[in-house]
Structure 1
Amino acid sequence: MKKTIFEEKVARTFKEKYITTPIMVNAPGRINLIGEHTDYNEGFVLPAAIDKAMVLAIAENGLQECRLYSLDFEEEFRFNLNDFAPQSSGWANYLMGVVDQLQKNGLEVKGFDCVFGGNIPIGAGLSSSAALECGIALGLNELFELGLKKVDLVKIGQLAEHTFAGVQCGIMDQFASVLGKEGHVIRLDCRSLDYSLFPLKLDEHALILCDTQVKHSLADSAYNQRRKECEEGVELLKKYFPAINSLRDVDLDMLETHEAEFDQKVYKRCKYVVMENARVLKACEVLERDDFNHLGQLMYASHEGLSQLYEVSCQELDLLVEETKKLGYVLGSRMMGGGFGGCTLNLVEKDKVAKFEEELKVVYENAFGITLKTYVVKIDEGTRLI
């Protein structure tokens, strides 16, 4: 397959900087159709890889150091394989974290050079960091013949984010980036890592992301706080139901029976997760019969739960979702990702895409003085060699 212009640019930059011919990897970002904040509660999610990706060029360099170059930031970073540690912040942590995990698994990584860049909008909640982790993991696996399976690459990417980037993410982002399949969403059981593919036949519909271009500062601390609140709910219920290990094992009857004993905030968090898990399973049923109207209703219900019960939305996201309810050609809309900014995901009639983008841009600029960015996304293959 012929390289895209962007892939050619990454390859050309690599050859200019490091002379040798690299292997090339395409590692996509992801959307999540439904199932937000369920992954770290051992629940179900419904993500898909998209046609926006990180592209990496990688080659062995015969040194004891690794030379990394970000095309987007025009920055180089070097580290010695025998002596490296997390930086206070920055993109290098995602790559070093993967090398660290490979070494901890007793695998030999030799010195390498890497040039990378991407067209995944940064800060939009499309998992550019997971794509970068999975891309370098697949590339090093190929380059040094490490013999890792795809699911191993997923776990290594997640642990890299935990240890070097300091974000206690669930496993959905890396899983979708590695195991995505064109034209399908993945129902992933985040406890067992069992997964099933469901076709998403978007013949007459399109998926559009509306990027608020805001990221409120409490996002990271609130994420960790929500995890803690979910764990508190499980601990309380364990007194009565010793077999439960996570909110995955809880149903609404259990919650409602003991509601009076809960801190109200913790109760709302747990109720949202239990209901969202049920929505993911229902969404798979409606996809099997191509019932996009019902799917849209589930998306709206998901957003309402995220906004009212889980309280991870913000005025920008809420406005965008509410506005779509006035547009008869929009079937569903919800915030996607960790929250407090990022994107809404919208299910729209295909022939109304331009109209949708135009109408939402006017509303958003009038409300916040920000030009709304929109992206039509297609469901693509997972991380692969180019």
Structure 2
Amino acid sequence: MPQPIPADVREKLSLLAKEHHLDVHGGRVRRSSSRFCLGVEHGDYNGTELFGVGTDRFIWLAYKPNQSGRVRLASANFPEDGLVDFPVTQPPAPGETPDSWARFPYGVSYILQREGHKLGGGFDAVLYGNIPGGGMSRSASLALNLIETFLECSGVEGVVGMPVVELAKAVENDYIGSPCGNLDQIMIYFAKAGMGTHYKPSDGSVDHVPLPDTADEFRLVSLDTGTIRPGLEKSTYKVRAAECAEMAELCRGPFGIQTLGDVKTVEQYNAIRDAFNERAPHLVKRLKYIFEAQQRFDTMLSAWRAGDLTTVGQVFRQDGYGLRDDYEISGPELEAMCEIARTVDGVLGERMLGGGDKGASGAIVTPSAVEPLRAAVNDQYPERCPDYAGKQNVHSCSVVDGLTLCEGL
């Protein structure tokens, strides 16, 4: 059964369609979720296993095929960009577009055709999202939503599973210029309500891990710092990805590894640390985070299977310390949120989320802790980070499906 659309979202989409004379009524609405990574953050480009969930901050895209052969769409989140309008088969080439959200529909058209998918169906569309910027994968959510829409409106069938993930990753890597891995796309595309998604790069498998009925209730909370994070191509993320690739290359010959995720044993880690600590201490620190996060991964996964959210939270917190101290990809506002969260009873664990530097931190909390956490953030964050006073936000999230068709407008 199609999911209902919140009344305020329906109104925003309808008004936007009317403003730009877009014919979407009687069409479909696709909803794509955000994501919350429980481990290993930054593990995707390092070859580790991944685990996370879809969360209920969404992008809604209302669309309807047209007969013009053109894609015409507008975003309620970026009204200053107006109407994006181009022939479905003729997007601008990479690097020929301004730095705006319009790069995503252009990029989807470009990548789909590059990969041999025949496009021909134009469509009108309007979209609106309430995913916080930075940390919950707004860009991956948008790319996946658009890919499904382009394929459907052109009558392209049979593109499902990991190929869709790889297409979304290619949009960001090859068109946008963002050096992301595939964690965000996997965690959104495969997300199922009430379940965690477990990805194993060794065989490309995806498993869904339900929480037992005995698990206590909990909430996943996004702690939006109000900061604006530039794209990953302009952030510390790009530097860390390059550093990890450099460390893997240094180890390839003497230690026979391809990625940092291949370092599985204490003996391996100690040998690499001893070999490179004097020569490249910063690279050893990057490996230290990945190695220790992998060591904690099975503990976290077992705790999730057992419904032990206290242990899941403890692992989440320890990962946060590693991201802060060893991976060095957090930021002052992100850590201010974590420090505030640690003062609130019922917060089981907290750390920065996503690409780093700016954006949002996250916390795993008991339901009764949500409002005390919100009050603590609103009371303390403006003092700690006065440049962003009043821009902070606290979003309490549940575990949901990643891609869903909703009621039409």
Q: Which residue of 1 aligns with 2:65?
A: 60
The AA in structure 1 aligned to 2:332 is Q
Q: Residues 171-320 of structure 1 correspond to what in structure 2 (within 5 A)?
A: 171-190=182-201, 192-200=203-211, 203-215=216-228, 220-242=234-256, 244-251=257-264, 252-262=266-276, 263-320=280-337
CA deviation digits over 1:235-292, x for unaligned, max 9?
12222232x2211211342232132432000000011112112322321111111112
The AA in structure 1 aligned to 2:72 is R
Of 3, 6, 25, which residue of structure 2 is paired with 1:4?
6
Deviation larger for 199-208 or 289-298: 199-208
Asked if 1:350 is matched to 2:367, the reply is: yes
Contact 1:26–1:385 at 8 Å: present in 2 too?
A: yes
The AA in structure 1 aligned to 2:83 is E
Instruction: Give the CA deviation at 1:11.
Output: 5.3
Q: Residues 68-107 of structure 1 correspond to what in structure 2 (within 5 A)?
A: 68-74=73-79, 75-80=82-87, 81-82=89-90, 84-86=92-94, 87-107=97-117
TM-score using structure 2 length = 0.88
SS class of match (1:341): coil
CA deviation digits over 1:194-239, x for unaligned, max 9?
1222224664322211111124669634211111111121112222
The AA in structure 2 aligned to 1:258 is I
| 66 and 321 in structure 1: CA distance in 2 versus 1, 3 angstrom threshold | same
Cα distance in 2, alignment partners of residues 140 and 10 from structure 1: 22
SS class of match (2:124): strand
Contact 2:200–2:206 at 8 Å: present in 1 too?
A: yes
Contact 1:10–1:57 at 8 Å: present in 2 too?
A: no
Deviation larger for 162-171 or 362-371: 362-371
Deviation larger for 254-263 or 359-368: 254-263
TM-score using structure 1 length = 0.93
Contact 1:189–1:195 at 8 Å: present in 2 too?
A: yes
Q: How many residues end up aligned between the 2 structures?
A: 384
Which structure 1 residue ranges, 5 or more long, are not aligned?
none
Cα distance in 2, alignment partners of residues 259 and 190 from structure 1: 25
Q: Which residue of 1 aligns with 2:30?
A: 25
Q: Residues 109-188 of structure 1 correspond to what in structure 2 (within 5 A)?
A: 109-110=119-120, 111-121=122-132, 123-147=133-157, 148-188=159-199
Of 38, 46, 50, which residue of structure 1 is paired with 2:51?
46
| 194 and 241 in structure 1: CA distance in 2 versus 1, 3 angstrom threshold | same
SS class of match (2:255): coil
| 98 and 191 in structure 1: CA distance in 2 versus 1, 3 angstrom threshold | farther
Instruction: Give the CA deviation at 1:64.
Output: 3.6
| 15 and 239 in structure 1: CA distance in 2 versus 1, 3 angstrom threshold | closer
Identity of aligned residues (%): 26
Cα distance in 1, alignment partners of residues 15 and 168 from structure 2: 25
| 250 and 95 in structure 1: CA distance in 2 versus 1, 3 angstrom threshold | same
The AA in structure 2 aligned to 1:256 is N
Contact 2:70–2:85 at 8 Å: present in 1 too?
A: yes
Cα distance in 2, alignment partners of residues 343 and 78 from structure 1: 32
Deviation larger for 226-235 or 192-201: 192-201
Contact 2:220–2:397 at 8 Å: present in 1 too?
A: yes
Instruction: Tell me how large the CA RMSD over aligned residues is.
Output: 2.1
Contact 1:13–1:115 at 8 Å: present in 2 too?
A: no
Cα distance in 2, alignment partners of residues 319 and 118 from structure 1: 26
Contact 2:91–2:106 at 8 Å: present in 1 too?
A: no
Cα distance in 2, alignment partners of residues 172 and 218 from structure 1: 16
| 317 and 33 in structure 1: CA distance in 2 versus 1, 3 angstrom threshold | same
Which structure 2 residue ranges, 5 or more long, are not aligned?
none
Contact 1:45–1:172 at 8 Å: present in 2 too?
A: yes
The AA in structure 2 aligned to 1:289 is A
